[in-house]
Structure formats: C-alpha cells, structure tokens
Amino acid sequence: MKVQIAKNKEELAEKAYEVLLDVINSKDEVSLGLATGSSPEGIYEIFRKEKPDVSHVTTVNLDEYIGLPTDHDQSYAYYMNEQLFKHLEFKATYLPNGLNPDHAAECARYDEIIAANTPDLQLLGIGTNGHIAFNEPGTSFDLTTNVAELSQATIEANSRYFDSPANVPTHAFTMGIKSIMQAK
C-alpha cells in the first residue's frame, strides 16, 4: 500500500485523478470501480475538465438506493450521469438497478457484472460513520452484492440531499466488502 497525504480536498482530487489516469492509460481494456457522494466530486470535476479518452473503460459503481428511478435527482444513476457519464464516452457503465423488485436476482445479476468487469482500481469514500459503499460498520467481510439496511447515522448524513429525512431511502443495493476487495 502506498499512502499519499494531501493538504486539502483539491490536492487530494488531483492526486486521485492522476492515479486513475495512470490506470486508464495502462492497458487497452480497463475497469474502474466508482463511488458516489461528496468524496469523488473533485475527481469527477477534473475528469470533466480534462476529458481523457475513456472509450476503453468500463465502470462498475458501488451502490444504488432501492426504490429510486434512474431519473430521480438523488439516485446514484442520476448522480453519475450528471457528474461523469454524460460528459465522457465510456465503453460501458454499470450500476445496480434500484427498481428491481427481485432483490436476490438483482444481487446475483450485479455479482455477474462485477465478475466480468473486476475493477482494476476501486475508488472509495468513507462515510461519516465509517461505512464503505453502504456496508455499515460491522458488516461481514464475506458479502458480495447485497441489500443493505442504512443505519440511522447514514440516513441522517444523506438527508442533506433530500427534502426531508423521511424521504431518504432506508435500503440500498451495495457491492459487498468481498467484492470491493477483489479489485486489482
């Protein structure tokens, strides 16, 4: 593991972008695991400005709220489209389908996508209570894609994005720690 220390969020975004760009430029077919939330926004801003060639890059996102359509302004599909996907031409982009009523089938489907597109690099943020994706503290490290029940702390932290805390979804599809740790 190589640890880099940044002075501020702008420097952190620049360093992270450079690491991602090195991976993108390292081979003909690349898969990136991507995150949502406030952590990667500076990185995505640099991507929008620099517009690197990502036509050979497939993305696999960490998670998606259950119950929000992709055009809901708080869905992670919408977030990724606004932040990155409508600005750059990726080979393919994947997120869990938050509207699939068959949760077991959706988890299995997404596990297959991850297996076929194992991330060369996984971008992560850490939630205020220590959650990674929607894997709350104490979640088993043996889980692959699963349905996570959001903790009250996570719901409260995410309520800033919704009209009221009552509108924050209580469950999400999330890549499990086992899947995250398979990134190359």
Secondary structure string (H, E, C) spanning 109-129 = HHHHHHHHCCCCEECCCECCC
What are the DSSP calls for 150-184, one per residue?
Answer: PPHHHHHHHGGGSSSGGGS-SEEEE--HHHHHT--
Residue of 64, 106, 120, 136 marked active site: 136
Write down the pLDDT at residue 115: 97
| Residue 164: pLDDT over 90 | no
Task: For residues 78-100, give the mean pLDDT.
Answer: 98
Look over the chain and give the mean of its residue pLDDT values, rounded to a whole number.
95
For domain 9-181, say whether CATH 3.40.50.2300 is its number: no
135 flagged as catalytic: no
CA 22 to chain centre: 19
129 flagged as catalytic: yes
| Residue 181: pLDDT over 80 | yes
- Closest among 1, 4, 48, 57 to 26, alpha carbons compared: 57
Cα–Cα distance measured from residue 138 to residue 121, given in angstroms and rounded to the nearest whole number: 24
- Closest among 47, 43, 48 to 16, alpha carbons compared: 43
Cα–Cα distance measured from residue 149 to residue 164, given in angstroms and rounded to the nearest whole number: 18
136 flagged as catalytic: yes
Phi, then psi, of 77 in degrees rounded to 5: -65, -45
Residue 149 — pLDDT band, cuts 50, 70, 90? very high
Residue of 63, 64, 106, 120 marked active site: 63
Write down the pLDDT at residue 31: 98
| CA dihedral of residues 96, 86, 181, 118 (deg, nearest 10) | 80
What's this model's pTM, rounded to 2 decimal places?
0.93
Say whether 90 sits in a helix, a strand or coil: coil
Cα–Cα distance measured from residue 180 to residue 174, given in angstroms and rounded to the nearest whole number: 10
Residue of 73, 82, 112, 129 marked active site: 129
Domain boundaries, the chain: 9-181
- Closest among 39, 80, 62 to 173, alpha carbons compared: 62
pLDDT, tens digit, 9 for 90 and up, residues 39-72: 899 999 999 999 999 999 999 999 999 999 999 9
Task: For residues 169-174, give the mean pLDDT.
Answer: 96
Residue of 117, 120, 131, 146 marked active site: 131
